[in-house]
């Protein structure tokens, strides 16, 4: 990992804003403006520390003032810096909720006992959280992070137990379904009448 285990990356400075030393921060927190709510942040190598005061938002980024940065030149010098805080400063997550940082790297085991590697990444494309599971040797698999698919998340042992739903790791009934789809192809396209 880029950071040590005890730190979490809250955002990254993507550029300068204005001439008064304000910076644009791409925030990774659930509420973007919370990037400065967990106390002073430090750089990836731990040599620099800043206090972040959020002053606004613009086009998917947070505009903030960092203590010690007074003009645009200084703001441009810190472009690309990742902002870290100690993991202990973050509040404990609610029941059934987990920090992405805690999930990535956990081992994945099916409820049948078969090992499937580990969690490589966590995504959300608008249809629920998805974990990418893989062992590095075979193609990774996307698993929905839902009660139906995830039987247990054991943080102490570092293991996630996944229910092997049909169609998740195997091909399920695909052969039958693909044939159905192929033979019907476009003629079977249905236009459902809108009675609304």
Contact footprint for another protein (CB under 8 A): 1-3, 7-10, 28-30, 80, 82, 90, 93-94, 96-101, 103-105, 120-122, 124-131, 139-150, 163, 165-168, 171-172, 174, 177, 180-181, 184, 188-194
Strands 107-110 and 159-162, how do they pair? parallel
State the minimum distance, in angstroms, from the CB of residue 157 to another protein: 18
Inter-CA distances, 68 with 27, 37, 77, 92, 137, Å: 20, 18, 12, 31, 47
Burial code (b: 16+ CB inside 10 Å, e: under 16) for 102-138 equals bbeebbbbeeeeeebbbbbebeeeeeebbbbbbeeee
Nearer to another protein among residue 45 and residue 191 (C-beta): 191
State the minimum distance, in angstroms, from the CB of residue 66 to another protein: 18
Distance CA 25, CA 140 (A): 31
Nearer to another protein among residue 20 and residue 184 (C-beta): 184
Nearer to another protein among residue 18 and residue 46 (C-beta): 46
**Helix, strand or coil, per DSSP, at residue 101:** helix
State the minimum distance, in angstroms, from the CB of residue 108 to another protein: 14
State the minimum distance, in angstroms, from the CB of residue 155 to another protein: 13
For residues 2 and 45, is the Cβ–Cβ distance under 8 A? no
State the minimum distance, in angstroms, from the CB of residue 34 to another protein: 8
Distance CA 122, CA 130 (A): 6
Distance CA 164, CA 101 (A): 24
State the minimum distance, in angstroms, from the CB of residue 20 to another protein: 26
Nearer to another protein among residue 19 and residue 48 (C-beta): 48
Nearer to another protein among residue 58 and residue 127 (C-beta): 127
Look at the block and give the residue holding tokens 């839902």: 146
Nearer to another protein among residue 47 and residue 194 (C-beta): 194
């Amino acid at each position: 990992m880029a950071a040590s285990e005890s730190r979490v990356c809250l955002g990254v400075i993507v550029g300068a804003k204005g001439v008064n030393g304000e910076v644009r921060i791409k925030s990774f927190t659930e509420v973007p403006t919370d990037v400065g709510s967990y106390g002073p942040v430090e750089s990836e190598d731990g040599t620099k520390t800043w206090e972040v005061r959020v002053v606004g938002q613009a086009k998917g980024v947070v505009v903030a003032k960092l203590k010690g940065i007074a003009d645009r030149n200084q703001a441009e010098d810190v472009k690309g810096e990742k902002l870290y805080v100690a993991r202990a400063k973050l509040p404990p997550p609610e029941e059934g909720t987990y920090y992405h940082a805690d999930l990535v790297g956990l081992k994945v085991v099916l409820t049948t006992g078969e090992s499937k590697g580990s969690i490589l990444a966590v995504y959300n494309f608008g249809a629920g959280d998805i974990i990418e599971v893989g062992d590095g040797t075979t193609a990774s698999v996307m698993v929905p992070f839902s009660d139906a698919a995830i039987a247990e998340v054991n943080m102490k042992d570092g293991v996630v137990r996944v229910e092997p739903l049909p169609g998740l790791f195997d091909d399920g009934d695909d052969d039958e379904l693909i044939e159905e789809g192929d033979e019907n192809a476009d003629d079977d396209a249905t236009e459902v009448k809108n009675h609304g």
